[in-house]
Structure 1
Amino acid sequence: MRRKVFARKALIAYVMCGDPDLRTTKENILALEQAGADLIELGIPFSDPVAEGEVIAAASERALKNHIVADDVFAMVKQVREKTTIPLVVMTYANVVFAYGVEAFMKRCGETGIEGVILPDVPYEEKAEFETAARAHGVAWIPLVAPTSGARIPSIVKDAEGFVYCVSSLGTTGMRSSFSNELEHVVRQVRAHTDCPCAIGFGISTPKQAEAMADMADSVIVGSAFVDLCARHKEKAPQAVYELAKALKDALRASETRRETS
């Protein structure tokens, strides 16, 4: 997935692995692909998910109660890879990787078909150990930039792979109705310093929001809305996940059509 460029406006979906169980997670992945998702972020649960809002934090807690650990996720991905080649990346926290062993974690990512890794609690200045190990095993190190990144953006994105994760607003993940006024400026700054796709995440939950964000960026990331469906529908979530993903993808296509005909 190095320096991957999405051919069209892309939908990136996030699911928490093991909520409500790994069988349902596998079904959710396949449902998302069928609905048109272009890439899926797989959450590995952690006890102190500092970047997450209430919805994803609660899902992480439920997955931990199910005793889900990194090896369970790797085993699930290996099974999923028998049915799909959709790009998969993991999103978790530094302590999960440290506990597993940085080199061993990245090696397992590469072996099982995980194409990228996102660690939201690792600042740019402390990324070297993780990034070096990831790249050694063909795994993209996906950076995050925020409205507060400012003058650090060129340094953060200069060696970006896969895509750049642009955080829409200050604070944690979670469905919201408004976004940072600085977001358009952040996207312009990212595009001035890398040819990697720019994906906006944190808070996007509706087709209307997705369409608006797609007017600015190459891709939108939707997480809490899918995780909330899993919490409410449990083992029956895949159908609801499919319906939301399809509506979001249709909105992205509408954004493309409008831009092409304007």
Structure 2
Amino acid sequence: MSGNIALLDNVLATAKSEGRAALVGYLPAGFPTVDDGVRAISAMVEGGCDIVEVGLPHSDPVLDGPIIQTADDIALRGGVKIVDVIRTVREVHAATGAPVLCMTYWNPVDRYGPERFAADLAAAGGAGCILPDLPVEEAEVWLKAAERHGLATVFVVAPSSRDERLAKITAAGSGFVYAASLMGVTGTRESVGKEAQDLVRRTRGTTELPVCVGLGVSNATQAAEVAGFADGVIVGSAFVKRLLDAPDVEAGLADVRTLAGELAEGVRGRPSS
């Protein structure tokens, strides 16, 4: 089952060989419904996303902003379950051929069973898992299950992470490193952008893995800026907002596809806006 992580590695390597960052899109499963979520994530790939992350909605998404929390609430009220998340991964991967990761807090995986979750995710064609709240020190059970099933384990680093901590996190991870920061928050854009650039530099000092940045990027100009110093640009809230603001699902799908195209131009250094 190692083909899943190999696909992720190849897509990231291809982007690098083209002299650009990869575009990574995020959307929670079950939003606005399970079926329409599959269509929306597939539209993100059609528009230009190289890699997609399927979120596992959580009732207390402490690391997510209000836009993603709103989408999670809609999905949970719709009755989304882990089986629907796995189905979303399967159908998006089958429809697009793109690497599909699951982004989830640890608690649902722990309850479901790490071995079972890894097996089901891999069988669905998933390339790996992003676990933002799982400390490396407590990750051994998951890491063994992921390795058995050929899944990448993507850990999250933050500007507050010291260099020794970065080295420990990146040594345990695979696929890529998720560098989290807060670009786009009112009044702090310039300083936080520099902080993110510094985080990428420090992270690269500890690993050969690509470093992808999730920074609240919402347009092509910001995507181009982040692509100037990172291996990948991760966009989530902006896609969710397009669906939330659309008058109907079809309009939302068109908006998502358009945004992906604009961001794809941005990561290629040719922002269209």
TM-score (norm 1): 0.90
- 1:14 has 2:26 as partner: yes
Is the 2:179–2:200 contact (alpha carbons within 8 Å) kept by the matching residues of 1?
yes
> Which among 74, 80, 86 is matched to residue 68 of structure 1?
80
> Which among 92, 95, 99 is matched to residue 83 of structure 1?
95
How do 1:205-220 and structure 2 match up within 5 A? Answer: 205-220=218-233
- 1:139 has 2:154 as partner: no
In the alignment, structure 1 segments of 5+ residues that lack a partner are 257-262
CA-to-partner distance for each residue in 1:21-74, whole Å, 9 max, x for gaps? Answer: 112111112211111110000011111111111011111111000000110121
Amino acid of the structure 2 residue aligned with 1:146: A
Q: C-alpha distance in 2, partners of 1:76/1:213?
A: 28
Q: Which has the higher contact order (CA 8 A, sep 6+)?
A: 1
> Which among 215, 221, 237 is matched to residue 224 of structure 1?
237
Amino acid of the structure 1 residue aligned with 2:228: D
Corresponding position of 2:112: 100
Distance 1:155 1:119, change over 3 A: same
Query: 155-164 vs 207-216, which deviates more?
Result: 155-164
Q: Give 1:79 deviation, angstroms.
A: 2.9
Identical-pair percentage: 35
Q: Give 1:180 deviation, angstroms.
A: 5.0
- 1:249 has 2:261 as partner: no
- 1:38 has 2:59 as partner: no
The two structures, once aligned, show a CA RMSD in angstroms of 1.8
Residue aligned with 2:234, SS: strand
Q: Give 1:82 deviation, angstroms.
A: 3.1
- 1:162 has 2:178 as partner: no
How do 1:148-187 and structure 2 match up within 5 A? Answer: 148-151=160-163, 152-169=165-182, 176-177=185-186, 178=189, 179-187=192-200
Query: 116-125 vs 214-223, which deviates more?
Result: 116-125
Query: 12-21 vs 202-211, which deviates more?
Result: 202-211
Q: Give 1:160 deviation, angstroms.
A: 2.6
Amino acid of the structure 1 residue aligned with 2:150: G
Amino acid of the structure 2 residue aligned with 1:176: V
Q: Give 1:255 deviation, angstroms.
A: 5.9
Question: How many residues end up aligned between the 2 structures?
Answer: 252
Corresponding position of 1:51: 63
Is the 1:89–1:117 contact (alpha carbons within 8 Å) kept by the matching residues of 2?
yes
Residue aligned with 1:90, SS: strand
Corresponding position of 1:201: 214
TM-score (norm 2): 0.87
